[in-house]
Homo-oligomer: A and B are copies of this chain.
Amino acid sequence: MSFLTSVLDHLKSFWTENLLPAAKTLIRKTRKEEPLRLPAPFTPDEDADTKQYEAHPSSAYMMLKMIFRDIGRYNAVIETLGRDFLTAMPKGAYKSRLGQIGFLHRRRHEEVANPQVAAFIEEAHAHEKSSPESWDEWDHANLREIEILYRHHCQVDPELIERRARLGYEGRRVHRDVMRNNDWDTARPFLEDMIDLTRRIAESKCLRDNEHDTESPYQALMREYIPGFRIADIETLFGQMTKKLDDLLPQILDKQAKEDAPIPLKGPFPETQQMWLNETLLRAIGFDFSRGGLYETGFNPVEGGTPEDTHLVIKSVNESNFLISMKSTLHEGGHGLYVQGLPRDVWRYQPVGHDMGNAWHESQALMIEMILGRRREFFEYLAPRVEGLFQKFGDPSMSAENLYKLKTRVRKTADRKTADEVTYFHHINLRFELERKLFSGALEVKDLPEAWDAQMDKTFGDMPESSCMGCLQDVHWFVGKFGYFPSYALGHMIAAQLYTVMRKDIQNIPELLSEGNLIPVRDWLNHKVHKQGRLRRPGALIEEITGGPLTPAPLLAHFEERYLHSV
């Protein structure tokens, strides 16, 4: 305790003597009117031995570390309000909560986008050059990510940010309601407003940021979700996927047509048992419930929060099919492992401690849900146990073989969320095409349902009418996430490519799965991906782990292996 106290005293006097005067000077000499709210100094209850608080000779960099600690606190508060919004908030608080969430987004934005942050960044870069010996690779990366965040925010009017935050939360509820009633008349004007607002944000980002002055509004949006990927890269990767799938998919459908169809599950599968199963599987993959939770809500599944308070939200369970909530749980659980595995103990709230963006995030979810969670050995572990849990001894639909078949059956379907692993790509590609058209002006919202169905028909041939209007099925556009969808397909590719290395490093994955033990897998992912935070750029990380750039080849090989060559 006295050691800690002396470290804290040291840090505090460093703060008072070196940093605060420097900060005040900078504030005085700036000509801009926007005020900078000084970050709080070291608080005695924080861990002084983290890199976040470690003294650094660049006082500008220290200021940035404290400013971004405070930004991180705003983030964490916003995440908690978000979980509460979905799980505990009384319905009468809806409107005022929107105001509070919007307000916090504004304040956070103002603190990131302050021009004095740019001055600190410039000064820190100068120090980086003049005293390279004081900067290790993590500090370099942290400053780089600070700058990226600053550039990301600096051109956007706080009012747009506040409005998007409000509208996004409204959208989550609007989506839940329009889905229930297949209500396009409510959805249409909402989506129009959301696209209009998002376009204004995109335009302020892409038109005025010198480093990206040639990018399209859609590219500017994509930067928020999938850093390190350009539209052209994605088009190339997606083109390769499409080409090879045109060859593979008919073969797979043909092979499966010759096999016996799986037996449908017979419910009921009571909610309590399903939620117990879901929590137990999360424990098996290593999710830490002392730092997070699983919540059943009426809302679309979503993950989020912080490494200390990670929330996995799934929709209401379906009592006629336990595989649906289990799928959601495994998917969100993969996200959850990533969130909980970030280098928070060392880097706390610093940008270098953030995740690698949504393509990487989805790779972690799809690794658990699809790559591993659809292996035959997993169902060998699961089948006898769910026979017991749901009191269905000897039910043939509950056999390992049948569960495996149910989860690997390839079908042309209108619904992304129940799509199989092979056709999943086409669902993503369709959304990627359409949202670019919405932003280029080639497609108007009023024509979206028709365009959607036409594209579906073009992709899959004559489609059965969907139970819910196709373009209403996803929450993403309702919460303003345009430019997000490619994450799923990229994430699937990343997962498959990572798996080629993981299977060499952990040679007994099949045995582990058949014992229901995914802890070694979690540890591998944690070591290779989660703990890396944003130390590397996304492209560099895949090279570092797998020895080459991202390609669709491993995913396509995985399809061949699982869907054509396995018995």
Instruction: List A residues at the B interface (Cβ < 8 Å).
Output: 24, 27-28, 33, 35-37, 40-41, 43-46, 70, 73, 76-77, 80-81, 83-84, 87-93, 95-100, 102-104, 106-107, 110, 158-159, 162-163, 166, 170, 288-293, 306, 308-309
10 closest Cβ pairs, A-B complex: A35-B35, A92-B291, A93-B309, A93-B308, A92-B290, A73-B103, A96-B308, A73-B100, A92-B308, A77-B100
A43 close to B100 (CB less than 8 A): no
Q: Which of B37, B45, B99 contacts A110 (CB 8 A)?
A: B37
Instruction: Please report the C-alpha to C-alpha distance between residue A45 and residue B293 in the assembled complex, in whole angstroms.
Output: 32
Q: Which of B33, B36, B158, B306 contacts A93 (CB 8 A)?
A: B306
> A35-B37, A91-B290, A290-B90 are contacts. A43–B96 as well, Cβ < 8 Å?
no
A43 close to B102 (CB less than 8 A): yes
**Further pairs besides A73-B100, A91-B290: 19, Cβ < 8 Å:** A28-B33, A37-B107, A41-B159, A43-B102, A45-B166, A45-B170, A73-B103, A76-B96, A76-B100, A80-B80, A80-B81, A88-B88, A90-B291, A92-B290, A92-B309, A93-B308, A95-B308, A96-B308, A96-B309
B306 close to A96 (CB less than 8 A): yes
Please name the residue on chain B nearest to A310 by beta carbon.
B90
Q: Which residues of B contact A35 (CB under 8 A)?
A: 27, 35-37
> A45-B99, A70-B103, A288-B92 are contacts. A37–B37 as well, Cβ < 8 Å?
yes
> A45-B99, A45-B166 are contacts. A40–B90 as well, Cβ < 8 Å?
no
Instruction: Please report the C-alpha to C-alpha distance between residue A110 and residue B83 in the assembled complex, in whole angstroms.
Output: 27
Q: Which residues of B contact A41 (CB under 8 A)?
A: 159
Q: Which residues of B contact A102 (CB under 8 A)?
A: 43
B292 close to A99 (CB less than 8 A): no
> A45-B166, A81-B80 are contacts. A106–B40 as well, Cβ < 8 Å?
yes
Instruction: Please report the C-alpha to C-alpha distance between residue A99 and residue B77 in the assembled complex, in whole angstroms.
Output: 10
Q: Which residues of B contact A37 (CB under 8 A)?
A: 35, 37, 107, 110
> A107-B107, A162-B43 are contacts. A84–B90 as well, Cβ < 8 Å?
no
Tell me, rounded to whole Å, the shortest Cβ–Cβ distance linking A371 to chain B: 28
Tell me, rounded to whole Å, the shortest Cβ–Cβ distance linking A350 to chain B: 14
Q: Which of B33, B92, B99 contacts A46 (CB 8 A)?
A: B99
Instruction: Please report the C-alpha to C-alpha distance between residue A35 and residue B91 in the assembled complex, in whole angstroms.
Output: 37
Instruction: Please report the C-alpha to C-alpha distance between residue A548 and residue B36 in the assembled complex, in whole angstroms.
Output: 51
Tell me, rounded to whole Å, the shortest Cβ–Cβ distance linking A436 to chain B: 28
Instruction: Please report the C-alpha to C-alpha distance between residue A45 and residue B43 in the assembled complex, in whole angstroms.
Output: 37
A43 close to B90 (CB less than 8 A): no
Please name the residue on chain B nearest to A103 by beta carbon.
B73
A309 close to B97 (CB less than 8 A): yes
Q: Which residues of B contact A104 (CB under 8 A)?
A: 73, 77
Instruction: Please report the C-alpha to C-alpha distance between residue A159 and residue B110 in the assembled complex, in whole angstroms.
Output: 22
Instruction: Please report the C-alpha to C-alpha distance between residue A88 and residue B155 in the assembled complex, in whole angstroms.
Output: 37
Q: Which residues of B contact A288 (CB under 8 A)?
A: 92
Tell me, rounded to whole Å, the shortest Cβ–Cβ distance linking A129 to chain B: 30
Instruction: Please report the C-alpha to C-alpha distance between residue A437 and residue B409 in the assembled complex, in whole angstroms.
Output: 77
Q: Which residues of B contact A84 (CB under 8 A)?
A: 80, 84, 88
Tell me, rounded to whole Å, the shortest Cβ–Cβ distance linking A507 to chain B: 33
Tell me, rounded to whole Å, the shortest Cβ–Cβ distance linking A161 to chain B: 10
Q: Which residues of B contact A89 (CB under 8 A)?
A: 80, 309
Q: Which residues of B contact A80 (CB under 8 A)?
A: 80-81, 84, 89, 97, 100
Instruction: Please report the C-alpha to C-alpha distance between residue A170 and residue B43 in the assembled complex, in whole angstroms.
Output: 14
Provide a sorted-by-A list of 20 A–B residue pairs whose CB atoms are within 8 angstroms: A37-B107, A37-B110, A40-B162, A43-B163, A43-B166, A45-B98, A70-B103, A73-B103, A77-B77, A77-B100, A84-B84, A89-B309, A90-B291, A90-B309, A92-B288, A92-B292, A93-B308, A96-B306, A96-B309, A97-B308
